[in-house]
Amino acid sequence: MPLSIRRRLLISLISAIAISWLIAIAFVYAAAYHEVEEIYDAALAQQSRVLATLMTHESEEELQIRQDLRQVMDEAGDELIKRSPLFRQLLKEYLEKGSEQDYLSLIDQQSLPGHRYESKIAFIVIDANNQVLLRSNMPVSFDEFTPGFSERVLDGTLWRTFGLVEPESKLRVQVGEQHAVRQETVANIVFNSLWPLFPALPLIALVIWITVGRGLRPLKQVAVKVERRDPNSLVPISADGVPHEVVPMVESLNRLFTRVQSALDNERQFTANAAHELRTPLAALKATAQAKQLSDHDGEHKNFLQQIVRGVDRTSHLLEQLLTLARMESQSMTMRHLQEVDLCQQVLEELSEIGQRALDRDIELSYEGPERGVNVLGYGPALQILIRNLIDNAIRYTPSGGQVRITILSESREVSLKIEDTGPGIPFEQMNQVFQRFKRGEDVKAEGSGLGLSIVRRILELHHGRIELENLDGESGLRVNITLKKAG
């Protein structure tokens, strides 16, 4: 099944919104990433510069102290040693060892208050003699010095590092930062600024659903109007209150209705005219043949003339049926035509009119049911044609000496008219075809137009009635069961 307009609009709008959001997110992410990179890089450079300055200052101071101490030793030399050999020992040790990392290094970062990103920052300071002056306790190595920004993988983690060489002291400072910190920051920024969009998506979907539904309501009203129409009605649809996008559709529908109506009118008029025009020559043929029959005293042309008369009668019957069908096809039941019709009276009247045909052929005819008082709401002349066609069919197809039984059964809401004959019945595979125009049972000897059941079906359509055909069990014969709604 094709998607409804509503669903289609919903899906395409929501996907368009989602896609544009995704693109926006990508841009935001890229921009945020770039900014964060700059900030963090700047911080990294800053940190190394501060470290370098501090350490330079520190080592200059130390150098100064050492010079002073040496001077003190040179000047006070032996005297000092004499007085305190321990002091001299300490002094000597200090001067020989040079820079001592013990006093500055290994600040226990974990125990100090700070920032959670701190742990992901590491640094190392090396002097010109490749002595490590200071390093963080990160379990990583920055031994390989790289000046400027660079990225390296240590222990499976990506680091961003900045290397600096202090020009005076030739101290080399390397500060590193785990790259993940930046990604985390970027993700946080992007997520925090965009998450409110996502709960909005179902809300937007709901608004689209409702708005589209409301927008389509006039279209739906048109659809309902068309749907509820009597399928036989060709009355134009009113374009009142129809949105102007739909007006062309309604108008072209109406034009179609008009065209169909006039085509139907033409066809009906043609059929009626043709049938009427044919009546006069048929009448001439029959009158001439019958006149000849009268003057044919010695019976020389008896068979011949009888054939002509029979042929005319057959043709007339076909004409009548054609006319009836044309009339019924164009008829649509409106309340104006409806009246209460006593089905029993109609059946009895029809039987008294055409029953003699059965008697003439030694067919036993019978009726069972009430004499009057079973009313249906319908169009009298049409019901009369319906009954006549069915009884006529039964008589036609029943061989001499057979039976035609007619029964009316009145139930609470419906009335059923049953017509059973002892004719050949209808082969199972032809059951569905018999309602088609000009379709007659195969191998049938009885004469008929092949229109009778088409007419019956059309009349039943007009009356919302049903017809069932079934072959009789065991014996040869057909049962036709008509069901109509009772009036009142």
Q: Which is nearer to another protein, 86 or 294 (CB)?
A: 294
Which of 42, 35, 22 has its CA nearest to residue 186?
A: 35
Binding site for another protein (CB under 8 A): 276-277, 279-292, 294-295, 312, 316, 320, 323, 348, 351-353, 355-356, 358-360, 364-369, 371, 381, 406
* Minimum distance, C-beta of residue 267 to another protein, in the bound complex (Å): 18
Left, alpha or beta for 425 (phi > 0: left; psi -120 to 50: alpha)?
A: left
Q: How far is the C-alpha of 315 from the C-alpha of 337, rounded, in Å?
A: 30
Which of 320, 330, 488 has its CA nearest to residue 415?
A: 488
Q: How far is the C-alpha of 287 from the C-alpha of 309, rounded, in Å?
A: 9
Q: Which is nearer to another protein, 143 or 277 (CB)?
A: 277
Beta bridge partners of 149: 162
**Taking the CA of residue 486 as centre, how many other CA atoms within 13 Å lie in the half-sphere pointing to its CB?**
14
Contacts of 152 (CB under 8 A, 6+ apart): 146, 158, 159, 161, 176
* Minimum distance, C-beta of residue 292 to another protein, in the bound complex (Å): 8
Distances in whole angstroms, Cα of residue 89 to Cα of each of 39, 63, 81, 93, 287? 50, 19, 8, 6, 163
Query: Is the dihedral angle over the CA atoms 242, 245, 247, 250 positive or is it negative?
Result: negative
* Minimum distance, C-beta of residue 380 to another protein, in the bound complex (Å): 10
* Minimum distance, C-beta of residue 449 to another protein, in the bound complex (Å): 15
In 84-102, which ranges are continuous DSSP H helix?
85-97
- Can you read off the two tokens belonging to residue 365? 């005819």
Helix (H) or strand (E) holding 483: strand 478-485
* Minimum distance, C-beta of residue 265 to another protein, in the bound complex (Å): 16
Q: Which is nearer to another protein, 269 or 290 (CB)?
A: 290
* Minimum distance, C-beta of residue 7 to another protein, in the bound complex (Å): 54
**Phi, psi for residue 31 in degrees, rounded to 5:** -65, -45
* Minimum distance, C-beta of residue 213 to another protein, in the bound complex (Å): 52
119: three-class secondary structure by DSSP:
helix
* Minimum distance, C-beta of residue 287 to another protein, in the bound complex (Å): 3
Taking the CA atoms of residue 76, residue 81, residue 84 and residue 88 in that order, the dihedral angle to the nearest 10 degrees is: 90
Q: How far is the C-alpha of 459 from the C-alpha of 448, rounded, in Å?
A: 19
Residue with tokens 């017509």: 419
Q: Which is nearer to another protein, 68 or 371 (CB)?
A: 371
Q: How far is the C-alpha of 175 from the C-alpha of 402, rounded, in Å?
A: 118
Rg (CA), the chain: 55
* Minimum distance, C-beta of residue 344 to another protein, in the bound complex (Å): 10
* Minimum distance, C-beta of residue 359 to another protein, in the bound complex (Å): 5
* Minimum distance, C-beta of residue 281 to another protein, in the bound complex (Å): 7
Detail the DSSP E strand segments found in 136-213: 148-154, 157-165, 172-178
